[in-house]
Structure 1
Amino acid sequence: MSERQERLFVLEASGGGRLFSVNPDGSDKKVLVTGCRIPDGVAVDAEAGHIYWTNMGVPQENDGSIERVDLDGGNRTTIVPSGGTHTPKQLHLETVGQKLYWGDREGMRVMRCDLDGSNVETLVQTGQGEDDSRDETRWCVGVAVDPVGGHLYWTQKGPSDAGLGKLLRAGVDLPAGQGAAERDDIEVLFDGLPEPIDLELDLVERMLYWTDRGDPPRGNSVSRSPMKPPDEQRAPEILLTHLMEGIGIALDPDGGRMYVTDLAGSVYAAGLDGSDRREILVAQGNLTGIARAVLQPTRRT
């Protein structure tokens, strides 16, 4: 039986759209999928042997989709067809409820579905129609779920370099009798953020991590804050700076590490407190989503 293996799974939006994997030190790069339509968010279900990712498609055409492959890149299939979501961004696998969650940017919503793509639902709706979709403060991008606390977290990024981004949360499920556009349980944890993008949760230490694009010194950074109600929040702790349009983030809480991507094509590794930062990959194209997984041993016959 081979040993368990830790891998990073990374999306490249340029170069025809690729999904590749590497070791945590950046070695042994393997291209698993090509021809993705501007991929953005990736999630790995190591136990079931699947990798999921979102395709933004062409935002003006409302043709986003979600695909799935096996861990070796085989059996590629579309689970949410083109147009089933508008411009899907970060993708989150919630293993307790066996659901996929994602932010839909121009769709101005947070959505979820079953792992086979069925039962697509809208949980948050921040606007309707073309006029609203031009308002970038309504754009939902990053998403993460806390099944223990029962909360759904997401970002609304705002215009580039405008400092109008928000980080919000609400219940995982819609309140009884309410719709996605008028639910009354939404809490704003932070506003006035540079340009918040992707989210990750450390459910053991109860910490929320996110990437920001936008202007320095607060932008192009990774920040964190305790997962507390708005009235208990303090200024976020900035952990990493000088990213080149930071996007994806993946955590290794047990190993005390984080991994971050940016549009300039770098993958960074650092401690969860931002220490020991190093580039493990450079010049890899326009990198977007990243996920970390520990692959289970396979029996040798």
Structure 2
Amino acid sequence: MKFLLCLEVYPAQIVKISLEDGTKETLLEITNGTPDGIWIDRINQKIYWTVMGKMTDPPEGYFAKDGSIECCNLDGTGHTLLVGNGVITTPKQIVGNEETDCLYWCDREGMALMSSSTDGSGFEILMQHEKEDSDLKEVEKQCVGIALDLQKEFLYWTQKGPAKGGRGRIFRLKLSQEYPVNELNIELLLNHLPEPIDLEFGHRTGKLYWTDRGAAPYGNSLNCAEVSENGELVNHRIIAKGLKEGIGLALDEDENVAYTSDLGGYIRKINLTDGSENIILRQGPMTGITLL
């Protein structure tokens, strides 16, 4: 039996949803802020998630350094704070490498890519953009979605740009490089996207998938593109439209489907070939989602 783990915003909690009958179970209540990204370590049977902290500048500003990385067991027990205490601003999507016990996440208002071991040790800032005088320039540097190509050791991420602004971008860097990350070894793969959010890498297809919460006609959509041999993203295709502020994304390559969650409260099952969809559930606003 397959399940989805999803992060609800109001009330903030981790919920487990059966894909067989749609029943929902609360695994853990979150009391220290707004959750955003979620990832499962299937080898060690752990759930990892990010908390953006408390909103400081409505409607979506989180500028205080009160974000955190947390984990628990698959049944919601053993809740542990791994990284926090003023070193993260707004952690967003999170992903991990089970073989190396490493976690990677984006810090939106911190304009950075970060990493740690799965026990919270070894915290590292992989890349951080410099502050700008212009608020617009800072928004363009906010990092949100993140994905790993484990075979080729590439880390992909999105910079969403201003809301509905058409300035979203997708980047990547090589994790195994032995020199400092800077503009010379960061690759810009796609530009002028409405507002790309969460990412997933298809390890079987070699495609990159992402949600976009920007304005119609191209935003609020599920997208994919092929990663060419020279690293370019080609054959960009919008698979489905009509998401309600699309955020979370989970791939099921066995079934050739993706699951999306959005701030409108919808969980959708979308066929990756023809874009046909079923609404699995509608509830309150949701952020991250993953397949169990």
Report the TM-score, using the length of structure 2 for normalisation: 0.92
Which 5+ residue runs of structure 1 have no aligned equivalent? 294-301
Q: Which residue of 1 aligns with 2:210?
A: 210
- Preserved contact between residue 96 and residue 147 of structure 1 (Cα < 8 Å): no
How far apart are residue 153 of structure 1 and its match? 0.1
Are the equivalent residues in 1 in contact too, given 2:68–2:88 (CA < 8 A)?
yes
Q: What residue number does 1:195 align with?
A: 195
- Matched ranges for 1:59-98 at <5 A: 59-98=62-101
Given the alignment of the two structures, is residue 8 of structure 1 paired with residue 4 of structure 2, yes or no? yes
- In structure 2, the CA distance between the partners of 1:195 and 1:25, relative to structure 1 (3 Å rule), is farther
The corresponding residue for 2:37 is 41
SS of the residue aligned with 1:63?
coil
Aligned-partner Cα distance in 2 for 1:190–1:79? 33
Instruction: Name the CA shift for 1:231/1:153 in 2 (closer, same or farther; >3 Å).
Output: closer
| Per-residue CA distance 1:77-125 (angstroms, 9 max, x = gap) | 1011232311000011222322111110011011111100111111121
- 1:237 is displaced (CA, Å) by 0.3
1:225 and 2:225 aligned: yes
Aligned in 2, Cα 1:163/1:140: closer, same or farther, shift over 3 Å? same
Q: How is 1:1-301 mapped onto 2 (pairs within 5 angstroms)? A: 5-15=1-11, 17-25=12-20, 27-36=22-31, 37-58=33-54, 59-128=62-131, 135-173=138-176, 175-178=177-180, 180=181, 182-228=182-228, 232-282=232-282, 284-293=283-292
What secondary structure sits across from 1:145 in the alignment? strand
Which structure has more RCO (C-alpha within 8 Å, separation ≥ 6)? 1
- Distance in 2 (alpha carbons) for counterparts of 1:24 and 1:187: 38
Q: CA RMSD in A?
A: 1.9
Tell me, in whole angstroms, the C-alpha distance in 1 between the residues paired with 2:231 and 2:97: 27
CA distance in 2, matches of 1:251, 1:197: 15
Aligned length: 284
* Preserved CA contact (<8 Å) 1:23 1:29: yes
User: How far is the alpha carbon of 1:274 from its aligned partner?
Assistant: 4.6
Gaps of 5+ in 2: 55-61
SS at match of 1:83: coil
Q: Find the residue that maps to 1:236 and give its secondary structure.
A: strand
8 Å Cα contact 2:240/2:276 also seen in 1: no
Cα distance between partner residues in 1 of 2:275 and 2:164: 26
- Percent of pairs identical after alignment? 38
Moved more, 5-14 or 71-80: 5-14
Tell me how far apart the structure 1 counterparts of residues 133 and 249 of structure 2 sit (CA, whole Å).
30
Per-residue CA shift, 1:148-176, capped at 9, x if unaligned? 11211000000001100000111114x43
Q: Which moved more, 1:18-27 or 1:248-257?
A: 18-27
4+ aligned runs moved over 4 Å, structure 1 = 129-134, 229-232
Q: Give the Cα separation in 2 of the matches to 1:115 and 1:287.
A: 25
CA–CA separation in structure 2 for the residues paired with 1:26 and 1:120: 40
Deviation, structure 1 residue 7: 1.4
SS at match of 2:178: coil
In 1: Cα distance, 2:269 partner to 2:53 partner: 29
How far apart are 1:135 and its partner, in Å?
Answer: 1.8
Cα separation, 2, equivalents of 1:290 and 1:145: 16
In 2: Cα distance, 1:167 partner to 1:154 partner: 6
What is the TM-score when the length of structure 1 is the normalising length?
A: 0.89
